[in-house]
Structure 1
Amino acid sequence: MNQQTLPETDANLNSKLATLRRHIQHTIVGQGSLIERLLIGLLADGHLLLEGLPGLAKTTAVHTLADGMALSFRRIQFTPDLIPGDITGTEIFLSQAGEFKFIEGPIFNEIILADEINRAPPKVQSALLEAMQERQVTVAGMTRTLPAVFQVIATQNPLEQEGTYPLPEAQLDRFLMKVELDYPQQDDELEILKRETERLQHGGRESGLAVLSPDEIIAARDQVNAIYMDEMLARYCVTLVNATRNPGAWIAEAKEWLAYGASPRATLALARCARALAYLRQRDFVEPADIVDLADDVLGHRIGLSFAARAEGITARQIIQQLVDIVPIP
């Protein structure tokens, strides 16, 4: 690669990705960071966790993304009475045939919307662990492979909301990024109101464009994996992640803030996301800004706050931002 711009052979895929982005932007007003990270998750072959108060278009954004691709899509509404078999599937006994038959659960689709994932108890949440990491499901001793393109996009309400359960650390680590949403700006909210009025006047929700096929998504991921990352930037990723394990070496008062730091999976995730962001920005090489821009979303949910930090009202993202500010950029 020439390390300047993406080659012409990528033009078709980039054009389709641009069309997909416009399709999402037509429905989701503002929230540019969310839209960009939805595309990064798709290109980096990783799962996403979207957190925000009810009504901030988390579910709508995932629906709109799925509408723009020729992929099978299922929404799983997580509730306190859900059981693992409702997700993975179960075996039923056919009395006439005298044998068991496996009935696939909704997890056997390409795009999974795990809506309000933290409203289900931990046992149900953990039913996703094998699927998210190994891309397979084991039920009654039989392992079944999931589709080649498989992505879980989960939404959750802030943990302070009533009726929520915190996600286990092992599951949080399997999410490529955690994206936090906030209220829209007033101008954006006015535009949302105008578009909703137009939608109702023209007969409801628009159908999707089915822009990208599974083969095209896999091809785009191959191109993302080929994006060049200089060794200095690779070392920067490693140093930044290691700083979360020993924050006191960088910020004296941070020594007591963290119970644990990010795992090596975080280093891999940061590099993958940086390559995907470079690809979206029409480059075939990673720049330091690609890493800096994504550090909060990739690392924030992978570190554990100490009791002292929580007592002082310090958030994980504040710690990550301080480390990003102080760790030297190549």
Structure 2
Amino acid sequence: MSADGPLKTCLVGLGWWGRQLCGEADGTDVLEITSSVDPSAESAAFARARNIPHFATLGEALNGDTAIDAVMIATPHSLHEEQCLLALAHGKPVFCEKPLTLTAAGAQRIVDAAADKALVLGIGHERRFEAGFEALAGLIAAGSLGRVIFIDANVSHNLMLRAKPGDWRLSGHEAPAGLWTGTGIHLSDLIIASCGAPEGVRLELLSTSDNFSGQELVRVDLKMASGVHATVTALACTPYYGRYTVFGDLGWAELVTLANVDGGQDAILTVSQANGVREERRIAPSPAIRTNLELWARAALGRGSYPIKPDQMVLNTAVLEAIARAGGRAAPYASIPTG
């Protein structure tokens, strides 16, 4: 691997998001997709059109393509651990889509394997690098809101209504926490980044809509070791909605996102100080997906450090696992006297 780059990367998984990552990589000179892995004939044709070597399995690619510097993984969630460990065993830095794995123990095995070989591990939590969320994180870090007490957030979309029958993203095996598995997990990453380690979780997974075949509502309450509490909701049956509100003892700030990270829409940041004066500004979209990839690639090439810490990856996976294990068995509601 040359520190001059670009990082020659094998992309594993050429589904909808894998092809999105291809497009993002095309827009940077620090990273290049030079080979691909996917068992489908359609994906092989996609690779031929790009004039890059294509393999049915990651093992074949690692043993047959000596030009691979690094591996990027965008496959169904249950495959992540095995594929990450295989790439790391071959001495390749890894970028893996979220969730890193479906269990905290699996995430820890990946983190440990990367550390043992001093390899950079990246993860697809690109929302950290959206300009709006960076601005909000800056307010928290600077103490502009005072001591953070509570976070109230929602991220919802109905993209899965367009999924074909049998799509793995609708599988209870691949998405054991409903929409949280691939969507809500971004918000717990943001909370962990600003507020530290979580120490408790309670939740509800509900299925009440005829428009979605699954548990379309996820509501999660998080208690952080720092004393911050957070409530996050995600719905899979309503059009896109994104809101992230931080309440401190000196003020509050709310970021409303108008589209998903790849939607190219503005965000609206409202900040209220202790005197009640509110300021609102629109924040233009930023290339957050590409920024995340570039930060990982530069770190892998020895040109900097990657900002998402391995322990945060494990902690966020632990939140996901706790939600999945609870299986919707939330603490019961206290009854309300009516007489």
TM over 0.5, yes or no? no
Answer 1 or 2: which has greater strand percent: 2
Answer 1 or 2: which has greater helix percent: 1
